[in-house]
Amino acid sequence: MNDKEDKAKISRRQFLATTGIAGVAGAGVASGLTPYSVWAKSKSDAMKANVEPGELDEYYGIWSGGQSGEIRILGVPSMRELMRIPVFNYDGATGYGLTNESKRILGPDAPLNGDTHHPHLSYKDGRIDGKYIYVNDKANTRVARIRCDIMKTDKILSVPNVQAIHGMRPQKAPYTKYLYANAEFRMPHPNDGRNMDDNKQYFTMFNGIDAEKMEMAFQVIVDGNLDNTDADYSGKYAVSTCYNSEDGFVLADTMRNERDWAVIFNIPRIEAAIKAGKFKTLGDSKVPVLNGRHGSDLTLYVPVPKSPHGINVSPDGKYVVANGKLSPTCTVISWAKVDEWFAGKLKDPRDVVVAEPELGLGPLHTAYDGRGNAYTTLFIDSQIVKWNLADAIRAYKGEKVNYIRQKLDVQYQPGHDHTSMGETKDADGKWLVALCKFSKDRFLGCGPLHPENDQLIDISGDEMKLVHDGPNFAEPHDCELIHRNLIKTKKIWTRDDPYFAETVAIAKKDGINLETDNKIIRNGKKVRVYMTSVAPNFGMTEIRVKQGDEVTITITNLDQIEDVTHGFTLINHGIAMEISPQETSSVTFMANKPGVFWYYCQWFCHALHMEMRGRFMVEPA
């Protein structure tokens, strides 16, 4: 890079720092630190993200798809998108939201949008067990589970009596018994229009979900609101940030207090209280509701500056870091001290705090390398700051030590960051992904809506090095990087898979053998069409029904060869679905229009794929 380019880049950076963005947080606090930048990246750094054609990535990246409502699977370090998993959204490729199998998961009248933020995998003893991915839907107050073996959504739960599930984490130890889910927004109770102006009737709740059954286990009423959450490595605690201890309805009110808090939930005490019957229920819901407000022995409210956002447990199991957002600090809480507090040995809730390092402007989320270092995103400074936990603790005790190791510019305004295996005991400190909210000038323009920029950073050495820019569509908040050995996926379906078991049971009642039969069963105005598919043929090339029939098409793909997926698309009916090898898929719709409508396989499966088609013939009523 020549001098001129260098100056142009630096002035662009200053421009970013001094315009609108700084005003977002309205804090105007000065960190007193002099950040230094690593603008240039050498070709050899960039080559670290290179995965040669035919080679496989070392990590699965499990990405949230934000407002798209989906989950995405990326390969890391290549950052290649491998798969999209529809979760709360409609998906035209796979027919998710159209097929009977997916409708059973989504439930009746399910909205077909979602806002996924936090994808997290299930655990055993603080390690990834490779079974499930869980994810929240902030937009419609739901949580979902995805099976890792087939990479399909498996269950969805609507959380009752609250609004906007935001922070969400699985219990880490001894196994993922509970999924912890924060409802962000306070709402009036009951919420039937009578209490809308009475702030005192508003509250929100922390939710415990049975992670295997995907059913509600408990709800805990809290003071303030709930932003992000994490779980410790002993299985005893969950902890959530609150940015609105003021109970404000509008922005100015939520920023009034210099300190808000992190609230710690004592899970064994919550379980004991439920056992002892110390709960109530709300409305029609049967879910046990416990009181966790100030003064309750189920919770500990730790005051932290100011409107904290992310909350991240360190992989050594010793600490949790609350990220200050409107304060240039992070607050380090010791789990050992939390034990002491619940044992009645400490007086002041602040006694559980063991460090409060000053890091820079707009700390949002923190990740770890397993070598004692933390990596915090600085939204306003557009940087990742690497700092040392032990040194920050020494500094808090009054020692003169510099806990900051490095500041790296990212492009631009990072939200979450995540390290390889960093949310497990096996944190390996190889890669860091910074999920930048703004990409500005980093990619070719695609209109006023810009992609996000997921940047890959090599953290294996002493110095962080930016190696790759990864454009991504609206809006990954968070991701997990999991070693490929921990996730085992099926190459083809097994015929006994529960994903389509109900469809198989219906066929059985109709006396159908799905692996051989091509038949139409009529029951009044209900018509069930069963057929097979083997490349390049559907089992039937014509289907005759009557106008006004409710038609169910069930197709079983008999192909046994990996990757030979078929599809079924019915022209002018808004019907399409995936049928992968050994899968059974079904869809139900009304045959309202008389005439001939072609159906075809929309997945290129064979040299004669274009010929894989048939006529759907509707006789006029």
Binding residues vs ligand CUA (CB under 6 A): 535-536, 566, 601, 603-605, 609, 612
- In the complex with ligand CUK, which residue's Cβ is closer, 189 or 306? 306
Pairwise CA distance, residues 618 & 572, whole Å:
13
Least distance (Å) between residue 438 CB and ligand CUK = 12
- In the complex with ligand CUK, which residue's Cβ is closer, 88 or 342? 88
Residue 535 interacting partner from ligand CUA, ligand CUK, none (CB closer than 5 to 8 Å by kind)? ligand CUA
Least distance (Å) between residue 135 CB and ligand CUK = 11
State CA 21 to chain mean position distance.
26
Pairwise CA distance, residues 170 & 70, whole Å:
19
Nearest to 293 by CA among 187, 199, 221: 221
Read off the tokens for 479.
């991701």
Pairwise CA distance, residues 350 & 331, whole Å:
10
- Residue 584 corresponds to which amino acid? T
SS3 160: coil
Under the binding rule (CB under 6 A), the answer on residue 478 touching ligand CUK is yes
- In the complex with ligand CUK, which residue's Cβ is closer, 453 or 602? 453
- In the complex with ligand CUK, which residue's Cβ is closer, 206 or 341? 206
- In the complex with ligand CUK, which residue's Cβ is closer, 172 or 325? 325
Pairwise CA distance, residues 549 & 375, whole Å:
60
Least distance (Å) between residue 378 CB and ligand CUK = 12
User: What would the 3-class secondary structure string for 208-276 be?
Assistant: EEECCCCEEEEEEEECCCCCCEEECCCCCEEEEEECCCCCCCCHHHHCCCCEEEEEEEEHHHHHHHHHC
- In the complex with ligand CUK, which residue's Cβ is closer, 377 or 554? 377
* Binding flags for ligand CUK, 116-155, as an x/- string (CB under 6 A): -xx-------------------------------------
Range 312-371, binding ligand CUK (CB under 6 A): 364-365
Least distance (Å) between residue 252 CB and ligand CUK = 22
DSSP per position, 319-381:
EEEEE-TTSSBEEEEEHHHHHHHHTT--SSGGGGEEE--B--S-EEEEEE-SSSEEEEEETTT
- In the complex with ligand CUK, which residue's Cβ is closer, 407 or 416? 416
Pairwise CA distance, residues 428 & 48, whole Å:
17
Cα dihedral 288→294→295→301 (10° resolution): 100
Neighbour tally for 93: CB within 10 Å: 13
Q: Return the CA Rg of the chain.
A: 27
- In the complex with ligand CUA, which residue's Cβ is closer, 15 or 604? 604
- In the complex with ligand CUK, which residue's Cβ is closer, 115 or 232? 115
Least distance (Å) between residue 476 CB and ligand CUK = 9
Least distance (Å) between residue 365 CB and ligand CUK = 6
Residue 603 interacting partner from ligand CUA, ligand CUK, none (CB closer than 5 to 8 Å by kind)? ligand CUA
**Can you tell me which of 248, 305, 310, 539 binds ligand CUK, judged by CB under 6 A?**
310
Helix or strand (DSSP H, E) at 421: none
**Can you tell me which of 67, 89, 140, 228 binds ligand CUK, judged by CB under 6 A?**
228
Pairwise CA distance, residues 450 & 299, whole Å:
42
Least distance (Å) between residue 228 CB and ligand CUK = 5
Identify the DSSP state of 4: H
Helix or strand (DSSP H, E) at 282: none
Residue 416 interacting partner from ligand CUK, ligand CUA, none (CB closer than 5 to 8 Å by kind)? ligand CUK
- In the complex with ligand CUA, which residue's Cβ is closer, 334 or 554? 554
- β 311-313/479-483 pair status: unpaired
CB of 413 within 8 A of CB of 21? yes
Residue 601 interacting partner from ligand CUK, ligand CUA, none (CB closer than 5 to 8 Å by kind)? ligand CUA
Least distance (Å) between residue 388 CB and ligand CUK = 23
Under the binding rule (CB under 6 A), the answer on residue 166 touching ligand CUK is yes
Read off the tokens for 612.
């894989």
Range 407-446, binding ligand CUK (CB under 6 A): 415-416
Least distance (Å) between residue 557 CB and ligand CUA = 8
* Residues touching ligand CUK, count (CB under 6 A): 12
- β 542-546/613-619 pair status: parallel
- In the complex with ligand CUK, which residue's Cβ is closer, 409 or 478? 478
- In the complex with ligand CUA, which residue's Cβ is closer, 327 or 533? 533
Residue 415 interacting partner from ligand CUA, ligand CUK, none (CB closer than 5 to 8 Å by kind)? ligand CUK
Least distance (Å) between residue 605 CB and ligand CUA = 3
Residue 228 interacting partner from ligand CUK, ligand CUA, none (CB closer than 5 to 8 Å by kind)? ligand CUK
Under the binding rule (CB under 6 A), the answer on residue 384 touching ligand CUK is no
Least distance (Å) between residue 609 CB and ligand CUK = 41
Spatial neighbors of 422 by CB under 8 A, at least 6 apart, are 315, 367, 368, 369, 370, 481
Helices (H), 26-168: 43-46, 100-106
Residues near ligand CUK (CB under 6 A):
117-118, 166, 228, 309-310, 364-365, 415-416, 477-478
